[in-house]
Structure 1
């Protein structure tokens, strides 16, 4: 019995009290609430477009064209809007083509083999194969197969199903495009800025971390920056998708036609040079690790150059976000980064240090191109900012081991 008391006490301590469970749930939901609200705000525009497009599609099909039960028209509108921004025109075409292929395959096979379970299987099989032959899009294949199912199962019950189904696809896709282009277009500059921010912030943050690693000779910190920058597919993918969506919006919507050659056009064209800057910065960080591990000299101007390069990335984001007519401050900051790299080179660097200097130059050139400068002009500015290429005579007492 003497041992029973502690045993009961220990058992009670391991139980989760109702109050503690409620507090834990409250903390979990309370912490997630801001993220949930941000997702709601981010999806508000799409939700409004989908609701308006669905209502418009139903009204056109039911009230104007008097199609009986045009359920597929609003469904087609929502399916079109569910596509990634920038692919909605393509999705509409795929929707219509897929429906047409499903109708054609179903009608031909019903006339040849009739209807039934195995006949339905054959219809779907051939409709999907024909769609795969026509195009690689999953949406096209799915629409062809789904339409073949409707034709094969409903034709014995509903006459003349083919024309309403095809009309529904046209009406729904058309309604979605009208809403996104004319009635409720989203601001493409805001869209691309929201998606570009994480990619540009990722690059700037890892360059800042690399500059700090150079100052402190901290190879561990440089490795962490390298690993984080490598994992950039989500950020770059969102940036590229948003740029594609901005091009589509500015092409289709008369409201934003004037923005195509201004800040929006520059932003959309910046995806490729930013991608190159990411890759060149990755090389910069890798050589930084070797530089630190080999004990090569690190002139004060070298971490300053990498830090200014990070600053130019942040400035690019700010100037794009506010729609600057010319991102001149980004260009100035990138040229200062190159100037610091030139000072570091002439102060004396080792083998890997020279590679870091070269990558600062290359990444800065990429950022200048991202500001809509031609490549030749960007290269000219980099050469001018870098200064003389002749370093001082090497000091044998300062030579470190050769990097791999």
Structure 2
């Protein structure tokens, strides 16, 4: 209604402001990557040009930037693929172009052999792409004139190592912050979904239970982001000396992730059974509702204790209480059949 009544000028200003805020947020989130890439490119050129004494080490800054540009959590593997791919492309390109000369047919042959060789060595898409592109650069821009040289391979190695070094030493992300932010949505959805389920059982509200089930089903994407964050955090904790002390706390998240995934799946089963119980008008002991509430509290405490990097004592206590209350419900003569 407000959008319909505001004038076109105000609507344009509102949309422009929203776009500017979004772009500012994107710049702020990625400014560290831009800073790292710029420093890595300059350092790679300096080392290859002034330390190793290569006159035109353009492969070095390219390798550094590519190493930093891939997704966090994949940089170590991608840096390895980059160096191996460049080595394959340069070796094949230098050798064949030196022997058979340049031309469209030679370029096609060099690229084909580079890709086939990369596939033979079991390379992924990054390795294959780097092998082919390096072969193209060698065959077209810098064909060998004085025999096969290892200078360009050394440049790629220098760039890849400097890219990893800058990532590890220059303002490395806090692994616990990364994984904690990713874990919060998944654990919050679990806690809130179980709370809603307990209230739905207490109030015999099937719509509320349906809504809880929908939220738990949608949480698969949160779980995927948690696993990606754990991969990224593990890489940073392994490479950055300043973050080595976080590895113990990070292991708690790694151990918990599998159990959180199981809890999410089992909670959906629980909610589906709760919906049937409400629809069929079954009698429910209070202990069963209390058990679901205690399980919800366990998820909430798990998020807090993981975030504080402490042993999840309170979460464990609530989970055991939930099991005890479920046992009381069973002793009263109520049991849920398998779903």
TM-score (norm 2): 0.87
Say if 1:221 and 1:124 are closer, same or farther in 2 by CA, change over 3 A. farther
Residue equivalent to 1:223: 210
What is the alpha-carbon distance in structure 2 between the residues aligned to residue 37 and residue 156 of structure 1?
A: 43
Alpha-carbon offset, residue 46 of structure 1: 3.0
Does the 8 Å contact 1:45/1:186 carry over to 2? no
Alpha-carbon offset, residue 253 of structure 1: 2.4
CA RMSD of the aligned region, Å?
Answer: 2.8
Residue equivalent to 2:331: 346
Q: Does 1:86 align with 2:73?
A: yes
What is the alpha-carbon distance in structure 1 between the residues aligned to residue 67 and residue 80 of structure 2?
A: 10
Q: Does 1:126 align with 2:126?
A: no
2:319 is matched with which residue: 334, 356, 362? 334
Residue equivalent to 2:14: 27
What is the alpha-carbon distance in structure 2 between the residues aligned to residue 161 and residue 270 of structure 1?
A: 52
Say if 1:286 and 1:184 are closer, same or farther in 2 by CA, change over 3 A. same
Does the 8 Å contact 2:70/2:78 carry over to 1? yes
Q: Does 1:99 align with 2:86?
A: yes
**Cα-to-partner distance string for 1:76-121 (whole Å, 9 max, x where unaligned):** 2222122222221111110000011112222343355432223222
Residue equivalent to 1:276: 262
Unaligned runs of 5+ in 1: 1-15, 356-403
Alignment of 1:100-249 (within 5 A): 100-111=87-98, 113-156=100-143, 163-249=150-236
Q: Does 1:300 align with 2:286?
A: yes
Q: Does 1:314 align with 2:296?
A: no
What is the alpha-carbon distance in structure 1 between the residues aligned to residue 123 and residue 274 of structure 2?
A: 43
Unaligned runs of 5+ in 2: none
Say if 1:129 and 1:82 are closer, same or farther in 2 by CA, change over 3 A. same
SS at match of 2:7: helix
For this pair of structures, how many residues does the alignment match? 336
Residue equivalent to 1:54: 41
Q: Does 1:289 align with 2:275?
A: yes
What is the alpha-carbon distance in structure 2 between the residues aligned to residue 41 and residue 155 of structure 1?
A: 38
What is the alpha-carbon distance in structure 2 between the residues aligned to residue 69 and residue 204 of structure 1?
A: 58
Does the 8 Å contact 2:291/2:326 carry over to 1? yes
Residue equivalent to 2:249: 263
Alignment of 1:34-73 (within 5 A): 37-73=24-60
Is the radius of gyration larger for structure 1 or structure 2? 1
**Cα-to-partner distance string for 1:184-231 (whole Å, 9 max, x where unaligned):** 322111121122222222322322232232223233333333333233
TM-score (norm 1): 0.74
